Amino acid sequence: MDKVRKIELTITPNYVSDWNFQDAVRELIQNGTDQQTLDPKNVFGISYDEQENILQLSNSESTLEINTLLLGCSTKSNNTDTVGQFGEGYKIAALVLNRLGKTFSVYNNSKDEIWISKFEYSEVFNEKVLMFKIIPNHTSNDGLVIEIENVTSDEYNSLYDVWIGMPGAENHKAIETSYGRIFTEKDMRGEIFVNGLAVEKEKNLYFGYDFKPQYITVERDRKSCSTWDMRSTTSKMICEAIDNGDLNIKDLMEIANDGSFYDICNIQYQTYTEKGRKVKDMIISDFDENNHSAIPVGNQSDYDKVKKLGGKPVFVPYEIAQIVSGTTEERMKELAEESWGRDFSVKEKLQQWRDFYENDFSSEAIEQFDKIIEELE
């Protein structure tokens, strides 16, 4: 005869007390999409019965092992291709949903079991804790189904703000890259997703992004991500999109000219990569096409140097100046050598040299150099 088992978890009802319905279901959606990422045949799905107020989340080939009821136990903890790395997932979702007055049941079909969660008083801990009752349920069905009852239509509709893969959700225009997707529509500006799950909105992003999990660190609450990862990865994505022809230099210049967007603030570090060098060459080509015989400069000091040498300086945005800094330096040296090669006296040449390298020396050194120049007849 099959036996009903009860397993107490060491979690009390007030754990993660600030979590709401969206937070709980986000965990379940993340678990489901992660399972499909690990095995594309293990298809994740979500459905809602508005008449019965029942929400179902399913994976076609998943199975829950009993050890997953241990906190910290996860099948994904060492896999960077998935968002979930903390091993709490569905247990915390079950806790929050029970606290909100929902029922939370798992149809663990390949094990012929139903797992039903509820709060019960524990004789061991003298406290109310989350408990799972595991009931035998012989079935011919496959996969895993999580069923949540007492879900209102408003609660279900709120999930469209959580996951961009919801049934019937709007398809947004996106550029595919090896790091994830770039959303180019204005209404997606600043929206940050990881593997389709909404993370946060960053007002200083020109595009919206859906990052692949291995390229970005998501905080425990799933509501924020590493700023460094975000800025570094957006720069890589834009370089790749330009190299592939999905974006162009005008798009890059529009971001740079505004000066308030983070999308390309780390793009200068990409010039050490093949794609980054290609983008750099395209920027220089575009600059030369629009500024004949000019030198791109990003600060007043370089502008003044080029002017003093008789060149044509043109200001470019900070990020662009960082990318083309090597070209700027080469052109300034060529201009200086050309200028110093003219029929000037030694004193005039030294004065030009002093003006060109003034910012590279201390004020004391420049003062001493000026005295030496004055001694020349």
Indicate whether 311 pLDDT > 80: yes
Identity of residue 65: E
Q: Are 106 and 85 in contact (CB under 8 A)?
A: no
Q: Which SS3 state, helix, strand or coil, does residue 376 take?
A: coil
Predicted local confidence at residue 342, as pLDDT: 67
Return the C-alpha torsion angle 354, 359, 360, 361, nearest 10.
70
The domain segmentation of the chain, as residue ranges, is 5-161, 174-287, 291-375
Q: 272-285, pLDDT tens digit by residue?
A: 899 999 999 999 99
Sign of CA dihedral 309, 313, 319, 323: negative
Predicted local confidence at residue 344, as pLDDT: 72
pLDDT band, residue 341 (cuts 50/70/90): low
CA distance 366 to 147: 77
pTM: 0.83
CA distance 193 to 345: 64
Identity of residue 371: K
Identity of residue 353: W
Q: Which SS3 state, helix, strand or coil, does residue 306 take?
A: helix
Q: What φ, ψ does residue 344 adopt, rounded to 5°?
A: -110, 160
What value does the mean pLDDT of the chain take?
Answer: 89
Nearest-CA neighbor of 62 among 29, 32, 25, 86? 32
What is the CATH number assigned to the segment(s) 5-161?
Answer: 3.30.565
Mean pLDDT of 210-225: 81
pLDDT band, residue 84 (cuts 50/70/90): very low
Q: 164-208, pLDDT tens digit by residue?
A: 999 998 889 999 999 999 999 999 999 999 999 999 999 999 999
Residue with tokens 């996106």: 174
Higher pLDDT: 227 or 313? It is 313
Q: What is the CA radius of gyration of the chain?
A: 30
Q: 62-76, pLDDT tens digit by residue?
A: 999 998 888 776 555
Alpha-carbon distance values, 179 to 230, 232, 250, 255 (Å): 11, 11, 22, 20
Q: What length does the chain have?
A: 377
